[in-house]
Amino acid sequence: MPRKFDPKNIERLDNPERAQWQSIEAFLEVLQPRAGMTYADIGCGPGYFTLPVAERLGPTGKVYAIDLQPEMLRELERRARARGLKNIMTVRSREREIPLPAACIEVACLANTFHELEDPVAFLREIRRILQPGGRLFVIDWKPLETPMGPPLSERVPLENILHALQAAGFKRLREHAIYPYHHVIEAE
């Protein structure tokens, strides 16, 4: 079974150097958030991607912050309150089930989590279920190369395996965005 990120190490997710190798601004350029959008951050952690996207979507947008770990969701709620954000709903999921209705999300992001999935195809199908027809999914995960941080090399997933899992789950129009040195960024429809 793949190893999950330990919430006791939450400070690693807040490393100030992260902006150099996983820029929020670069992701926002690819995402193109707009007011009123419905967005899901799956495996949201304490909100590295969630909070800036929620700010961009404004009060008419809706952000579902989804995570397995209640500690992460509590920390994200605390940070959202501190920023005055009221458009974030936290959702505790299970490994194979996201408790949201079908076709309720326009865009979803699965960041730094793919390598932790027990059954990637089943989970991607669950993400597809909550996406609206024509909805987009961004998968951001570690490239299988030595980096100064991140999961062990043995846990990282090659790009071909991610693309195969996306296709097996029914996603189409796969394209990679070369915005990060240590991560694949794949957009799927």
Helix (H), strand (E) counts: the chain? 7, 7
* Mean of the per-residue pLDDT values of the chain: 94
In a domain, 7, yes or no: no
Quick check: is 182 in a domain?
yes
In a domain? residue 13: no
* Model confidence at 135: pLDDT above 90: yes
Pairing between β-strand 105-111 and β-strand 38-42 as defined by DSSP bridges: parallel
Residue 104, token pair as written in the block: 């309720």
pLDDT confidence tier of residue 13, bands split at 50, 70 and 90: low
The CA distances from residue 176 to 19, 28, 72, 83, 169, in Å, are 20, 15, 28, 32, 17
Nearest-angstrom CA–CA distance, 18 and 137:
22
Res 5 pLDDT > 70 = no
CA distance 167 to 36: 29
- Return the CATH number at 45: 3.40.50.150
Q: How confident is the model at residue 10 (pLDDT cuts 50, 70, 90)?
A: low
Contact 64/91 with Cβ under 8 angstroms? yes
Residue 8 lies inside a defined structural domain of this protein = no
At 108, the pLDDT band (50, 70, 90 cuts) reads: very high
Concatenate the DSSP letters of all residues of 27-47 into one string: HHHHH---TT-EEEEET-TTT
Confidence of residue 64 (pLDDT cuts 50, 70, 90): very high
- Does some domain include residue 3? no
Determine the length of the chain: 189
The two tokens of residue 129 are: 């279920």
Question: How far is residue 89's CA from residue 96's CA, in Å, rounded to a whole number?
Answer: 20
Domain count, the chain: 1
Q: What domain range is 74 assigned to?
A: 28-188
